[in-house]
Structure 1
Amino acid sequence: MQARAAAPRGLAARGRRSVSVQASGDAKFADYKPKVAFFFPGQGAQTVGMAKEAAEAVPAAKQLFERASDILGYDLLAVCAEGPKEKLDSTAVSQPAIYVASLAALEKLKAEQGEEAAAAADVTCGLSLGEYTALTYAGAISFEDGVRLVKLRGESMQAAADAQPSGMVSVIGLSADKVAELCEAASAEAPAGQGVRIANYLCNGNYAVSGGLAGCEAVERLAKGFKARMTVRLAVAGAFHTDFMAPAREKLQEALAGTAIQEPRIPVISNVDAAPHADPDTIKAILAQQLTAPVQWETTLKTLLDRGLEKSYEIGPNKVIAGIMKRIDKAHPIENITV
């Protein structure tokens, strides 16, 4: 599987534009006016020890882990609580772990602040993997189907990464346009099929690029010349959100075809085009597309704020999303419900 060709100049601007997947009857949430958002984290938020206290204190949270473990075939709570770190960090395990831990955090919110607080969101979204958690919260995907999907997603992404080594690099201190130029220069130096492109549009000064190992090395080598503050090689299996993940996308498409997805009860903002979708077939298509498309998180948060978002909750392990939101709008109130 070849990586996408060298990123042309201006990729960043095009990446921020809507790449909407439309279907008849998919405009239900077009005029949504958000007030309270629930955000769910993605891969990388996991830490050994997560969910241990929540499972001990909240019976409903522990039950989620028990139900998930029956599907997964191993004790998920034990891995979350005790590790080893190498196992928890593996793509195949971390994805179901974060999915279930985030929903356990929702049960913690319910136990501490009541049903009304847990149902307060009128819009939701998640960072990459977190989109599945958001769809579950919105009633589009059942918990059991969600566990099965993220299990297959993680395993398929790991297999795709093992088949063709690749990587991701976080570039700190540059605008999206400058990172796109850096990707273009790095791709020009890399062998065919080893190019890189922006994979995660997080916030100004923080973008992750994905691609072949030679392309990643070129990004690290050239970044200082583009006046980047620093680069960080990400501890992930491979080049997520690029064509390196095409084999995983094909497997996920097959699984999604056989999964019942309902119309969400509230808008769920897609990573692919920063827009909400109501049509189940469109949601299936966009979830598959998400594996090889850049994550439009910066546009998502800015759009929510522009539409009047008043308060947010990050629900799940760590505080990654809250940090990104503060980079975009320091004054926006965001509360963390961690596990």
Structure 2
Amino acid sequence: MSNIVILFSGQGAQKVGMAKDWVESSATARDLAHQADLTLGYSLTDIMFDGPDEELTKTSRCQPALYLHGLIALALIKERLPNLTPVAAAGLSLGEFTAHAAAGTFSFEDGLKLVARRGEFMEQACLATEGAMAALIGGDEDKVAALAKAADVDVANFNAPGQIVLSGTTAGIEAAIAQAKDYGIRRAIKLNVAGAYHSRLMQSAQDQLAAELAGVSIQPPAIPVVANYSASTVSDPADIRTTLEKQVTGSVRWTESIRKLIADGHRNFLELGPGKVVAGLVGKIDKDVTVHSIEDLASLEAATETLS
């Protein structure tokens, strides 16, 4: 099948044991895992395979872990299905970097270093600020935007219709939760996260990432990559740097990104990441599209059979 769009997971999808069965059974997976450990100068794979969960959950660890997992998954499905040629790519937040690596925008090593640094910068920004996030269920976008303005917080993620995330100061998020019903929002749930991702509280991380991006060799991607920040495809290296930078404090416009891909005629998606989080969101955006998910050996074999 050649008309498939590849989608990559964002932070929060990680789980202890990720990619372990692939590395134990595949030389290709072992080579990429070894390359990652060498590039980073520590054993990321030990943390991925054995945890502990508190270590893998750290922003500085889970971001490179998900990047590596996604690219191993892609390498393994391509190995089994040499005729599978993705036609476009996208990723949820951190997953946008994995999508660019898959599209050849930058090398595996450069992308890995970028996401490792991005994770470190975001972790530092979390420690330096008092931030929080809240998931809003059952509210429309205009009402959520009005609530965010009233509480002086930012809209972090437009994940799916009726599933939007706010991000900002702890006081602001608590105010937003308290007022949510007044704006017609069914439920507001404070998230168990380390800080205020995709908000103005991440400005220091954005500035530091911009400096890192300036030093990386970036090529026009071989297939269209949809940027979270603009919900449009980016191909010019300067635009790619800008959208990856601004994504740190900007909204993840996932609903629009998926709708753009569907409007372009794409109906078949392949999720490369743990937990089927992306598949769940895409299903809420459009229940008539098909999403195959690959997260471990069993799902890899199932997808190979279905797509061959």
Residue type of the alignment partner of 2:149:
E
Post-superposition offset of 1:164:
1.0
**Could you report, residue by residue, the CA deviation over 1:265-293 in whole angstroms, capped at 9, with x for unpaired residues?**
11111111111121112211221111111
- Once the two structures are superposed, residues 204-244 of structure 1 have per-residue CA deviations (whole angstroms, 9 ceiling, x without a partner) of 11001110000111122222343433223223222111211
Greater per-residue helix proportion: 2
1:107-256 to 2 correspondences below 5 Å: 107-111=75-79, 113-117=80-84, 120-185=85-150, 187=151, 195-256=152-213
- TM-score, normalization by structure 2: 0.92
Q: Percent identity?
A: 40
Where does 1:243-282 land on structure 2 (aligned, <5 Å)?
Answer: 243-282=200-239
Structure number with higher relative contact order (C-alpha < 8 Å, ≥ 6 residues apart)? 1
Q: Per-residue displacement from partner, 1:111-142 (whole Å, max 9, x unpaired)? A: 4x32222xx21110111101110000101110
Q: Which residue of 1 aligns with 2:306?
A: none
* Map of 1:333 onto structure 2: 290
- Counterpart residue type for residue 231 of structure 1: A
- SS of corresponding position for 1:319: helix
Gaps of 5+ in 2: 297-308
Is residue 231–residue 256 contact of structure 2 (8 Å, CA) maintained in 1? yes
CA contact 1:249–1:289 (8 Å) conserved in 2: yes
* Matched position secondary structure for 1:330: coil
Is 1:322 the counterpart of 2:282 in the alignment?
A: no
Cα separation, 2, equivalents of 1:143 and 1:232: 36
| Aligned position for 1:66 | 34
Question: How much has 1:35 moved relative to structure 2?
Answer: 4.1
Match of 2:300?
none
SS at match of 2:233: coil
TM-score under structure 1 length normalisation: 0.84
Counterpart position of 1:27: none
Give the match's secondary structure for 1:210: strand
1-side partners of 2:148 and 2:200: how far apart? Answer: 15
Q: What pairs with 1:64-103 in structure 2 (closer than 5 Å)?
A: 64-103=32-71
Q: Deviations over 1:20-45 (max 9, x none)?
A: xxxxxxxxxxxxxx942100011111
**Are the aligned partners of 2:154 and 2:200 in contact in 1 as well (CA < 8 Å)?**
no
The CA distance in 2 between the partners of 1:288 and 1:303, in whole Å, is 21
Distance 2:185 2:73 in 1: 36
Question: Across the two proteins, how many residue pairs are aligned to each other?
Answer: 295
Could you tell me how far apart the structure 2 residues matched to 1:40 and 1:155 are? 20
